[in-house]
């Protein structure tokens, strides 16, 4: 068994309630790794984005193996890397920073976390037409994942239409053979779609409600939510009631963490064990 010590952490804003330490430290313990996983919250004490670069320099000096990055610093962190994965380059943001040999390597495991979770939870679903609500950083990773999985048509909706339009242009440049459109509203995005993905914060603790009225759900629609706290959002509850196949966000949270964990520590994580630790913790 490995008996080394390691330190890693999560950078974000308003993240005191994050389960990342629990997820990473429990898995490290199972490998015999003595890991301290720090929450680095720019809200407490208050820091602005200019603090990001000196923080990375300090983490390198202290000996951090790596850092996860969450909202709202994924795009800014991207700019501070020495090297990037192909997926990170195409997506334009990162959530994983590996610190090794004096270099910063950036990756995006959000897209693979969503992709792996969707295929594990809802194998064999149709991806001909998929509605995506929310086109921020998380929405970009989800849309990229859907297209990598083979989605033929992705319909984007965001209350900020300029954000949806920018994402549409970006994705179309990467997937020229697919149909990527901006919908006028959530209802038209879902009409005739095979599946619906919520990539907005609506439904998470502190943001109650649903991103679309229940009346627009129907039994033949599969529904995925990237929100995982609570485990079952109002959207998933309503969808389940009428017979939709549903996919919650906890599996995505664990799978993106597992992909980061593997890169930080050069260890093969047990995804099912990590998921049990999260659910039971």
Q: Give the model confidence (pLDDT) of 91-114 as tens digits.
A: 999 999 999 999 999 999 999 999
pLDDT surpassing 80 at residue 88: yes
Query: Model confidence at 189, in pLDDT bands (50, 70, 90)?
Result: very high
Dihedral class, residue 238 (left if φ above 0, else alpha if ψ from -120 to 50, else beta):
alpha
79 counts as catalytic: no
**pLDDT for 230:** 86
Task: Name the phi and psi angles at 158, rounded to 5.
Answer: -150, 145
What's the number of CA atoms in the CB half-sphere (13 Å) around residue 248?
18
Window from 2-6, 141-145, 253-257 with minimum mean pLDDT: 2-6
Whether the model pTM is above 0.85: yes
Reduced to 3 states (helix: H, G, I; strand: E, B; else coil), residue 248 is coil
Residue 1 has pLDDT above 50, yes or no: no
pLDDT of residue 280: 66
**3-class SS at 187?**
helix
pLDDT at residue 207 in the model: 86
The residues facing 66 across adjacent strands are 8, 98
What six digits make up the tokens of 236? 């998933």
In this predicted structure, the answer to whether residue 2 has a pLDDT above a threshold of 50 is no
**Alpha-carbon dihedral of residues 160, 164, 170, 176, nearest 10 degrees?**
-170
Catalytic residue, candidates 4, 5, 74, 241: 74
Which pLDDT value is given to residue 3? 64
What tokens does 114 get? 């969503």
Does the structure show a pLDDT above 60 at 281? Answer: no
Over residues 176-201, the mean pLDDT reads 97
Largest distance between two CA atoms of the chain: 56
* Nearest-angstrom CA–CA distance, 247 and 153: 20
If DSSP states are collapsed to H, E and C, what string results for 62-91?
Answer: HCCCEEEECCCCHHHHHCCCCEECHHHHHH
pLDDT in tens, 117-167: 999 999 999 999 999 999 988 899 999 999 999 999 999 999 999 999 999
Domains of the chain: residue spans and CATH: 5-108+252-280 (3.40.50.10860), 126-244 (3.40.50.720)
What pLDDT sits at residue 228?
A: 87
Task: Supply the pLDDT for residue 112.
Answer: 97
How many CB atoms lie under 10 A from the CB of residue 57?
12
Mean pLDDT of 253-275: 96
């Amino acid at each position: 068994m490995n008996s080394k010590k390691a330190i890693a952490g999560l950078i974000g804003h308003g993240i005191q309630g994050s389960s990342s330490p629990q997820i990473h430290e429990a898995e490290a313990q199972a490998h015999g790794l003595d890991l301290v996983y720090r929450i680095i919250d720019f809200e407490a004490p208050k820091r602005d984005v200019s603090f990001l670069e000196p923080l990375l320099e300090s983490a390198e000096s202290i000996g951090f193996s790596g850092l996860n990055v969450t909202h709202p610093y994924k795009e800014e962190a991207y700019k501070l890397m020495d090297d990037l994965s192909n997926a990170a380059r195409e997506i334009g943001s990162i959530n994983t920073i590996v610190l090794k040999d004096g270099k910063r390597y950036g990756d995006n495991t959000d897209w693979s976390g969503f992709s792996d979770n969707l295929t594990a939870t809802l194998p064999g679903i149709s991806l001909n037409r998929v509605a995506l609500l929310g086109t921020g950083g998380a929405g970009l990773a989800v849309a990229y994942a859907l297209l990598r999985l083979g989605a033929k048509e992705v319909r984007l909706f965001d209350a900020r239409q300029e954000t949806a339009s920018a994402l549409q242009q970006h994705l179309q440049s990467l997937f020229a053979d697919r149909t990527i459109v901006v919908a006028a509203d959530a209802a038209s995005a879902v009409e005739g779609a095979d599946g619906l993905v919520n990539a907005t914060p609506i439904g998470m603790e502190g943001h109650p409600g649903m991103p679309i009225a229940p009346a627009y759900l129907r039994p033949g629609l599969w529904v995925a939510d990237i929100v995982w706290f609570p485990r079952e959002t109002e959207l998933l509850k309503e969808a389940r009631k009428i017979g939709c196949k549903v996919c919650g966000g906890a599996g995505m949270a664990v799978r993106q963490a597992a992909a980061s964990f593997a890169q930080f520590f050069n260890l093969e994580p047990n995804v099912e064990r990590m998921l049990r630790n999260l659910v039971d913790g």
